[in-house]
Structure 1
Amino acid sequence: MPMRSFLLLAPLIAIVFANISRAQETQNEAANAKQSSAAIQTEKDSKVTAPKVIVFDVNETLLDLAGLKKSVGEALNGREDLLPLWFSNMLHYSLVETMSGEYHDFSEIGTAALMMVAEREGIELDRESANAAIGHSLRSLPAHADVREGLERLSKQGFRLVSLTNSSKVGVETQLKNAGLTELFEKRYSIDQIEKYKPHPDTYQMVLDDLGVQPGEVLMVAAHAWDLAGAKNVGLQTAFVKRPGAVLYSNVQEPDVIVNDLNELADVLSEAKQ
């Protein structure tokens, strides 16, 4: 092709290739949107059947732990990044006590765990300061933004609502009162009634026995994979709430439903009742 002809056609060629490129981008965007939509739909898919009773974990599932991060961080010389390590240690040693036949309430274990983290990191921290950092914040955690509306919707749909927590009986009563949630629950269970921590099977069985219901008639709701694993092991239906940073454990059965918040759970259960 003569150079002059090529120069005359060059703008047209550029336009054609630009249109082809744009068409490919549009197809990719549509494919991505379809894939995203499919992912959302899959996530909302549910195997749950309408339960008679819904059991809610409290800490992190209903109550926002963000406020605890500040006080624990201050006790650890500003190391707020150590909160996950402290929380993991607290859960770890609650299980150690359950398996070894010991029992201290959750705040006592939390205090000891905080002192362990401080010692490991070379931070000076006495028991009184550690206890103060945990006690006040743990008792005054606010509810997540979706919680009250979600619980009210579930209650209006006719579900019996109870809570089950590793916090002490006195502790959870104070927590729910300060969060303005007390009246939304028929009963508020604490593991200190049997001195074994979740996910021990006896903790869930305690609730079943007291309410006189069968495992399949109960849905356990939590933001912790270990809690749902324990509930599933007893035969309860399970729902995972994806609070920030919460992930599932792949070596156990998947939850019957996965939701982003309690309003989405109310939507799912409303459909399950139909």
Structure 2
Amino acid sequence: MSRPALLLFDVNETLLDLTPLQASIRRVLPGADSPKLWFTTMLQYATAMSLAEQYATLPEIGTAVLRMLAEGRGVKLSEEQARIAIAPITRLPAYPDVAPALARLRAAGFKLAALSNSTTTGLRSQLDYAGLASCFDAQFSVQETGVYKPHASVYQGALRRMRVEPKEAMLVAAHGWDVAGARWAGLRNAFVRRNDQAPFPLAEPPELLVADIGELADRLGA
């Protein structure tokens, strides 16, 4: 396998463990499935806004979606209560495999960049809190483009900034829609199996399918 010049990493759930955020969501939204429902619905509405050429930040969408879902389950949440419930999104730990594997990849000469649906400030806070900021050559937020992944312009914008062609870049993510979106935009891709997730069957199979970032480093020869 040829070596990618650039590795673009999704952040939420790919590098960072959402458990503290899930516990906070579960405290205000009834149902064992409430954290997953909130996360997937937030992404659904972010994508819907992009299709409708509208934009709000991920915290704004997350707050609105949490209030909407709570109302549907008979719970009245104020905007402030919802904001407090999703606040742990900037204080998430990295999975244990992440920091050592990123260090190996950097030592092997790979360029590394983070590419997230989080805001610019939120992404910086997340990586600082998790101790990962120094692992990356660059950090990119969709706030810079005004549309959300998997819109092709998000991936393409990051590649322009890094001066890398799509075929020289690999998107690494734990979400089927993100890995598929990168491939449709011309990038290579690697799927990380986190939390029982699987690739999207209507897209081409990912180039790499790995259990964690450590296995990714192994497969890339780092």
TM, length-normalised to structure 2: 0.97
CA distance in 2, matches of 1:91, 1:160: 28
Residue of structure 1 in register with 2:137 after alignment: 186
**Which amino acid letter does the alignment assign opposite residue 223 of structure 1?**
A
Residue of structure 2 in register with 1:166 after alignment: 117
The question of whether the paired residues in 2 share the 8 Å contact of 1:50 and 1:269 is answered with yes
Per-residue CA distance 1:127-153 (angstroms, 9 max, x = gap) = 110011002x10000001100011001
Which ranges in structure 2 are unaligned for 5 or more consecutive residues?
Answer: none
**Correspondence for 1:208 among 156, 159, 173:** 159
> What secondary structure, in the 3-state scheme, does the structure 2 residue paired with 1:219 have?
strand
CA drift at 1:87: 0.8
The structure carrying a bigger helix percent of its residues is 1
CA distance in 2, matches of 1:116, 1:124: 9
Q: Which has the larger radius of gyration?
A: 1
**Which amino acid letter does the alignment assign opposite residue 4 of structure 2?**
P
CA distance in 2, matches of 1:91, 1:245: 18
CA distance in 2, matches of 1:120, 1:88: 16
The question of whether the paired residues in 2 share the 8 Å contact of 1:142 and 1:178 is answered with yes
Residue of structure 2 in register with 1:91 after alignment: 43
Q: Does 1:70 align with 2:23?
A: yes
CA drift at 1:244: 1.3
Per-residue CA distance 1:52-96 (angstroms, 9 max, x = gap) = 10000000000001111110011125x342111111110000011
**Which amino acid letter does the alignment assign opposite residue 55 of structure 1?**
L
CA distance in 2, matches of 1:49, 1:171: 34
**Which amino acid letter does the alignment assign opposite residue 121 of structure 1?**
R
Residue of structure 2 in register with 1:234 after alignment: 185
Percent identity over paired residues = 41
Which ranges in structure 1 are unaligned for 5 or more consecutive residues?
Answer: 1-47
Per-residue CA distance 1:229-274 (angstroms, 9 max, x = gap) = 1100111110000011211110111100000011110110008xxx
**Correspondence for 1:224 among 175, 179, 200:** 175
CA distance in 1, matches of 2:47, 2:86: 19
TM, length-normalised to structure 1: 0.79
Residue of structure 1 in register with 2:210 after alignment: 259
Moved over 2 A (4+): none
CA drift at 1:101: 1.1
* RMSD after superposition: 1.0
